[in-house]
Amino acid sequence: MGSLNKLRLLHQVRKNQWLKPSELEELQNRKLRAMVKHAYENTEFYHRKFRDAEIRPDDIKTTEDLYKIPFTTKEELRQNSLGSMLAKGIDLNKCHVTETSGSTGIPTKVVYDSYANDFSKAVNLRSHIENGLKLRSKWVVFGDPNHFQKPQWFQKLRIFSPNQISVFDSVDEQISSLRNFNPDVLDGYTSSIRLFAQAVEEKGVEDIKPGVVFGTSELLDKETRKYINSVFNVEMVDHFGCVELNRTAWECSEHMGYHMDVDSVITEFIKDGEGVAANERGQIVYTGLYNYAMPLIRYNIEDIGIPSDEYCACGRSLPLMKVVEGRTDSFMQVPSGRIFSPIIWTTIMRKIPGVGQFKAIQEKKDLIRLLLVKNENFAENTVYQIEHDIKEVMGQDVEVKVEIVDNIPKDKSGKVRSAESRIKINW
Ligand SMILES: [Zn+2]
């Protein structure tokens, strides 16, 4: 695809956000019909799925018809060969191939053709530009080196060119590589930016003063947001998405929720097989509208979100959703059936002297392993107090095992998470 076409795509998606809601809806339905037809005619997987459900592409005319199509699960992606998911005639050498982090299982390959890759970049740039990224901003992205891409022609000219920093580097390495660079924009995994902010504050680094900070993939909690905002004196902007569909929603400077990228993905919020009402929690189910190499239709991402019926004060017609703090696999469920959001961890642990970094891992419904990095206030009764305070919140029938460690291991994607559950939650 020509370079001018890439800029044209960017121009187009920037225009889409100001379309009338009815025009956006029409655009979405048109893209949906084309994708459904394509997936049925060109992929083994969806051909079979549609046939098994006794539906034809013509049965799907608008998003209202989506309920007729059975969900696609992560398990199906793992169990079916990549070939059966891909459209006929796809040349993998010409595609961008990436992998999910597989925090709950085996990673799966995700394939974008070059058009899809360009489109997803355009959608990604849209929210960055709308929040202050400039043509030649000094832009730093903390990310997983496995997902880094080679710079494109315009990026070699230092236009919209992110400086990629590995989240596997120590904060000292990160700081030293950014010294004298004076980044305008920090971007990337929220947990990495938090650790980076902490180091910047502790070491009194003065030459790192970004004007904009973007978080992505994992808004941990309000406290993290506040902390990052205070260190850099900004109002951080959060992004929402996943490896399979890329960015799917984003905040604008009004912070009224997350604008959904409805021109590139359909987001449904499902409970007990049906869409939820506004302001209710539902499982997020995505239908991608631009990746013809590997269609994903009604793909259950195993994450939770909340649709909103509010209009944003900014005037953009991209509808709003709200996110639930933390990822689904950071939520824990105890024998009583009660579900705890990952927010509880900072709340519980912040009050206990002696706690440096930590990570809570739920191994079984009634067993929490708590990895702890001591700080200078660690005392004989610290461990006892941790056990006591966790049980008080989660229940006396939950066993707590504290393990003292030197550092908290990052997960496969390089994220540092304070909570992780290895059990299946019954929502
Ligand atoms: Zn807005």
Instruction: Give the tens place of pLDDT for each residue, 275-334.
Output: 999 999 899 999 999 999 999 999 998 788 999 999 999 999 999 999 876 555 677 889
Q: Of 233, 226, 237, 231, nearest to 197 (Cα)?
A: 231
Expressed in angstroms and rounded, the spacing between residue 267 Cα and the centre of ligand 1 is 17
The DSSP 8-state label assigned to residue 341 in this structure reads: -
Tell me, yes or no, if the pTM score tops 0.85. Answer: no
20 plus 97 within the same structural domain: yes
Expressed in angstroms and rounded, the spacing between residue 255 Cα and the centre of ligand 1 is 7
Expressed in angstroms and rounded, the spacing between residue 127 Cα and the centre of ligand 1 is 10
Q: Of 322, 325, 212, nearest to 256 (Cα)?
A: 322
Domain that holds residue 225: 132-240
Expressed in angstroms and rounded, the spacing between residue 353 Cα and the centre of ligand 1 is 40
Q: Would residue 12 count as lying in a domain?
A: yes
Q: What is the CATH number of the domain that holds 397?
A: 3.30.300.30
List pLDDT tens digits, range 395-419.
999 999 999 999 888 766 566 678 8
Expressed in angstroms and rounded, the spacing between residue 261 Cα and the centre of ligand 1 is 12
| Domain final position from 240, 275, 294 | 240
Number of other CB atoms surrounding residue 140 within 10 Å: 25
Q: Would residue 124 count as lying in a domain?
A: no
Q: Would residue 31 count as lying in a domain?
A: yes
Expressed in angstroms and rounded, the spacing between residue 315 Cα and the centre of ligand 1 is 6
27 plus 39 within the same structural domain: yes
Q: Which residues of the chain have pLDDT under 70?
A: 1-2, 101-107, 145-159, 168, 217-221, 325-329, 341, 343, 411-416, 427
Q: Would residue 246 count as lying in a domain?
A: no
256 plus 224 within the same structural domain: no
List pLDDT tens digits, range 147-169.
666 666 566 666 677 888 887 67
Number of other CB atoms surrounding residue 75 within 10 Å: 12
Q: Would residue 301 count as lying in a domain?
A: yes
**pLDDT attached to residue 351:** 79
Mean pLDDT of the chain: 88
Q: Would residue 49 count as lying in a domain?
A: yes
Expressed in angstroms and rounded, the spacing between residue 295 Cα and the centre of ligand 1 is 29
Per the structure, how many domains does the chain have?
3
Expressed in angstroms and rounded, the spacing between residue 246 Cα and the centre of ligand 1 is 20
Give the span between the Cα atoms of 355 and 277, in whole angstroms. 41
**pLDDT attached to residue 105:** 46
Q: Would residue 108 count as lying in a domain?
A: yes
| Domain final position from 240, 263, 280 | 240
**pLDDT attached to residue 427:** 59
**pLDDT attached to residue 104:** 41
Expressed in angstroms and rounded, the spacing between residue 64 Cα and the centre of ligand 1 is 25
| Domain final position from 325, 341, 371 | 325
